Amino acid sequence: MEVIKTEIPDVVIIQPKIFGDHRGYFFESFNLKTFNEKVIKTDFVQDNESKSSRGVLRGLHFQKPPYAQAKLVRCIKGCVLDVAVDIRVGSPTYGKYVAIELSEENKQQLFVPRGFAHGYSVLSEEAIFAYKVDNWYAPEYDSGIRWDDTDLGIDWKLEMEEVKLSEKDSNLLGLKDLESPFKY
């Protein structure tokens, strides 16, 4: 696997080595030993998967300590725009974000460390999205920031009328109203 740095050093793209021929393809989607050596030492405890239609936007989510989560995300089917926003107070990249298209074609993954809000928009007709997390889901520690926060200025690659949100995501606050529990 190749580790590709982004504009925010702690957020990295994982490009697996893909072996293909006339029968199809094979690749190793995760190897704990290699991940610990090349990215960060971690123990993922849960795998999650979601299926969504075009225009669905999920995010920007994070969990507060002590249930903060790092995520390793990928798109198994279709294409999504995946976004990680630095919400670590004191970070030189606070309020900055990384946005990358993850797809079944490129098979790339994005590692989103603790201290980042995460979200994605579905750009294909349908998408199946999978992610590993390094801490358990705790709904009482769940939080987030608005997807359309003008201070962030994220281009989700969707028309406004296409965006489909959950009620929870519709009611999130902007970054400037967030009292981030994360310190750099």
pLDDT 10s digits, 59-107 = 999 999 999 999 999 999 999 999 999 999 999 999 999 999 999 999 9
184 within domain boundaries: no
How is residue 139 written in tokens? Answer: 């709904």
- Catalytic machinery residues: 61, 131
Domain with 30, as residue range(s), is 2-177
Question: Which is nearest to 81 in space by CA: 66, 61, 98, 64?
Answer: 98
Tell me what pLDDT residue 138 has. Answer: 97
Q: Does residue 182 sit within a domain?
A: no
Is 172 contained in some domain? yes
Question: Does residue 183 form part of some domain?
Answer: no
Q: For all residues of the chain together, what is the average pLDDT?
A: 97
Domain count across the chain = 1
**Whats the size of the chain, residue-wise?**
184
Amino acid 25: pLDDT: 94
Confidence category of residue 160, pLDDT binned at 50, 70, 90? very high
Domain assignment present for residue 15? The answer is: yes
Q: Is 31 a domain residue?
A: yes
Read off the pLDDT of each residue in 104-118 and give the average, rounded to a whole number: 98
Query: Using one digit for the tens of pLDDT, what is the confidence trace for 140-154?
Result: 999 999 999 999 999
Query: What's the token pair of residue 10?
Result: 């702690």
* Contacting residues for 85 by C-beta, under 8 A, at least 6 apart: 60, 95, 96, 97, 116, 117, 118, 145, 152, 154, 175
Q: Tell me, what CATH number does 22's domain have?
A: 2.60.120.10
